[in-house]
Chains A and B, each alone.
Chain A
Amino acid sequence: MTSETRQEQAPAGVASAGSPRRRGRRFAALVVALAVAVVAATWLAVSIGAVHVALPQAWGIVADRLVPGLVPRTWTPVQAQIVWEFRLPRALLALLVGAGLAVVGAVLQALVRNPLADPFLLGVSSGASFGAVLVLILGASTLGGLTLSGAAFAGSLLALGLVYTLAQRSGRLTPSRLVLAGVALAYLFQALYSFVLQQAQSGRAAQQVLFWLMGSLGGARWHMLPLPAVVLVGGLVYLLLQHRRLNALAAGEETAVSLGVNVHGLRITLFVLTSLLVGVLVATSGAIAFVGLIVPHAARLLVGADHRRVLPVTALLGAAFLQLVDVAARTVNAPQELALSIVTALFGVPFFLWLLRRRSVDRAVTVA
């Protein structure tokens, strides 16, 4: 992995009209509004669920855990378990996964210069799914005690390595080669897990696998949060530091080279970073479709194509969106749960179509 720390003076991408100060103020207001939306969605997620826990109790439980003895304990151990062990980690994981998938989508759209790019383009999620299916069907003991998320992550690393080997030639990654290698390997891994699934004896096991493949945050626990959190925050900080080079890359290889960007090194770094992020996220939540495709476009419609703005807005939008999607997934049909990909599409598509019709989008959708 090459790391180029030299600062280049690249133009700040395509930006909308207005004085820089006014644009800055508008952007700051937008970020604050989105942050409020994220907090509100999370508040909602902790407050409601399949089992009714009254608001004072729900937040009393959280407060009591943070500052023991702050409020009188008026709840049962079951309510405490539901709010503290299930709802809160689930809500926080929804934020991480939503933000992560959306940011990966934004970066990949710039990396391969294709508005259709999403986190599942590069075969990594299919590799993760393959690992997960192996554990669900063969059992953990067959795979040396790997947990579901451990096997999913191992599968994603395997896919990452294969895609990278196939896509690069003497240290150079080209977008078309990357897309083709990713898509081809995605088919390969789909074939492999379909094969394992078809060998499965029990329809019950197959049903469990199907649910996992469609994405779910239902298994969220505290211990699952640190890894995605660290990878996401680290990745986001790195990407923000690289926003100028991302803009240059999105504008085209010639532009980027003329601006002094080490295009090949940057592509490899971005590929490895996004693949790792997808691997970690898919391992915790399964393959949640659509977030990584539409949220970056929505963000560009709001703030233009400059990655310094696109990335934070994408992260916040993705977090709020997936939080609301997950609230719907576990309340619409409670106490049964819906797989997240169903809800992301059902709620996301109409919203996205409305967004597409609402404004002139051609400029934003063409990524750069």
Chain B
Amino acid sequence: MRRLLVLVAALTLTACGQAPATQETDSAEAPQPGFPVTVENCGRTLTFDRPPAKVVTGYHPSLETLLALGLGDRIAGRTNFSESAFLPGQKEPYDKIPEISPTIMLPQKEVMLAQGADFVLDNAMNSFDAGGGYATVEELDAAGSPVYILGGWCSPQEMLEFTLEDTFTDLHNLGKIFGVPDRAGKLVAELRGRLDDVRKRVAGRTPVKVLATDGGRGPVNAYGGAGITHQMIAAAGGVNVLADVKGDYTEVSVEQISAAQPDAILVSEYATLRGETTPTVQAKTADALAIARNSPAAKAKRVLPVPVSAQHPGYRNLLAITDIARFLHPDAFTS
């Protein structure tokens, strides 16, 4: 039954998909200086004979990262993004790029392979699961569409090992792949500067106890002491009240949340279905405040919604650390 539904969904998507892209004909171009280049990603070695010119991006942070590198003109197809606000100046280039999937996931296998992409960039493995009807990394590789996963989010275990440094590695790698190492170096320097600024401002201030949650009345969905959200809290001058909990995104007992006594709460913001924004942030906030009723955070109603796209590896993730630091230490940003 499940298999049948997948088939029906795949057929529907294929039927209403775009016309198959025409194959590149000018593949016998002269090699560009500095190429071929190789990068390591998810235990695979990717080789590029020339900079990709027909890129497909997966979940939105991958598009944001390429736009930040000024590579919008290389992108031939993108997924939909309507779960939270765009980064400043990114709505316009987004609108110009053809949308190949109405969701945050890549299109189904046949549509995806028909794109004829020469590079695929995404944040995690969800859109490459054969069981979900998607083209796998191997299939795309074989079709000449090498896949790069940001932040080393290649498996659940590797997601726990993420550090902010991984994003800088990604930016350098993308600079190499697209033949724009200087641009990448400049962006890395700028972002490092922002992080250093945050670090200087929050240095010497008492870390704020932070609960990062995704709602739930019991058990509560929250972020434990490993992974990207934990790293963000630490970098922004906070301390994760669930640091002792193993795991990144996990289910935590209401007792633990009640006893955690956070000073501030971060709530994940995202849409669950077809970009329809559900009033989940408000509901999740209400749940968290009710359970952590006796905490300083609840008494002061100190809550910051965080777009879940910022809790994925990429450009926005590093920007969000400044936002969280401002929220946790407003006094540090007055000068």
CB within 8 Å of B: which residues of A? 49-51, 76-78, 81-82, 86-87, 136-142, 187, 190-191, 194-196, 198-205, 207-208, 211, 216, 218-221, 330, 334-337
Contact = CB atoms under 8 A, between A and B. Distances in A.
Nearest to A209: B272
Report whether over half of chain B's contact residues are helix, strand or loop; otherwise say mixed: loop
B70 interface: no
A85 to B, nearest CB: 8
B14 interface: no
B258 A198 contact: no
A198 B5 contact: yes
Interface stretch (B176-184, B216-224, B313-321): B216-224
B246 interface: yes
B251 interface: yes
A334 B5 CA distance: 38
B255 A194 contact: no
Contact of A335 (B255, B271, B283): B255
Interface of B: 1-2, 5-6, 9, 83, 103-105, 124, 126, 132, 214, 216-219, 221, 224, 242, 245-247, 249-256, 258-259, 261, 268, 270-276, 278-280, 283, 293-294, 308
A337 B252 contact: yes
B256 A202 contact: no
Contact of B250 (A139, A202, A221, A336): A336
A191 B1 CA distance: 6
Contacts, number: 136
A187 B2 CA distance: 9
Contact of B270 (A77, A198, A202, A218): A202
Contacts of A205: 272
Question: Considering residues B216, B218, B246, B268, which has the most beta carbons from chain A within 10 angstroms of its beta carbon?
Answer: B218
Contacts of A86: 218, 254-255, 258
Contact of B278 (A78, A87, A139): A139
A219 B219 CA distance: 6
A204 B249 contact: yes
18 contacts: A50-B252, A138-B273, A139-B278, A191-B5, A198-B9, A198-B132, A199-B273, A201-B104, A202-B308, A208-B214, A218-B218, A218-B254, A219-B216, A334-B256, A335-B256, A336-B250, A336-B252, A337-B219
A198 B217 CA distance: 24
A202 B261 CA distance: 28
Contacts of B253: 49-51, 218, 330, 334-337
